[in-house]
Amino acid sequence: MGRGPRWCHARFRNFGYKMTQPREIILDVLSRTKKHLSAEDIYIEVYKIYPGIGLTTIYRTLDILTNMEMVSRYDFGDGRSRYELISDKKSEHHHHLICLNCGKIIDYNDYIDEETKLFDKLEKVLSEKHNFKINYHHVGFYGLCDKCKSTTSS
C-alpha cells in the first residue's frame, strides 16, 4: 500500500468511499503515464501488479473515479473511452488535439492569452446563464496531425 497520490485518500473519505487496493493501483497506473489509456490498457497494467483483478472491477472503479472527478473520461472517436487523471494542479490542466486518422493525441497547455480569457469568460457566462456550477471542462480539437496531413494531401 502507500501507492497513489496522497490527496486521493482524503477525497475518498469525503465521498464516503474506501481506498481499496484496486482503486489505489488504478490511480497509481494513471498517475505514472502521460498516455490516455483505455479500460483494457489499464487492465493490462493493473494485472501485472494485482493479478486477482477482473475487467469488471476496472470498469466499475473507473466509473467511481470519474464520478469523484479524480479521473476524466474522453471519447476520442475510436470507439473506446480513454481515461486520464485529473490533477489538482491547475498547471497540469490541458486541452487536446486529436488526429482522426492515426489517433495521435497532443496534449497542450501553452495556451494563447485569448484562449485562457475565453474559457474563463465562457465558464462564467454559461454558469450564470444556466445557473450551473462548472467544475471542469474538456476541450478537444479533431483533425489531422502533421504526418497524416501531408500523406493525405499528396
Site residues for Zn ion per CB under 5 A: 84, 99, 101-102, 104, 107, 145, 148
Distance in angstroms (rounded) separating the CA atoms of residues 115 and 28:
31
Smallest distance from Zn ion to CB 54, Å: 27
Distance in angstroms (rounded) separating the CA atoms of residues 70 and 83:
10
Smallest distance from Zn ion to CB 14, Å: 24
Smallest distance from Zn ion to CB 129, Å: 19
Smallest distance from Zn ion to CB 143, Å: 9
The smaller minimum CB distance to Zn ion, of residues 23 and 96, is found at 96
- Extract the C-alpha cell encoding 3: 501507492
The smaller minimum CB distance to Zn ion, of residues 91 and 131, is found at 91
The smaller minimum CB distance to Zn ion, of residues 68 and 145, is found at 145
The smaller minimum CB distance to Zn ion, of residues 20 and 101, is found at 101
Query: What is the biggest distance separating any 2 CA atoms in the chain, rounded to whole angstroms?
Result: 56
Burial class (CB in 10 A: 0-12, 13-18, 19+), 19: middle
Instruction: Give how far the C-alpha of residue 81 lies from the chain's centroid of Cα atoms, to the nearest Å.
Output: 10
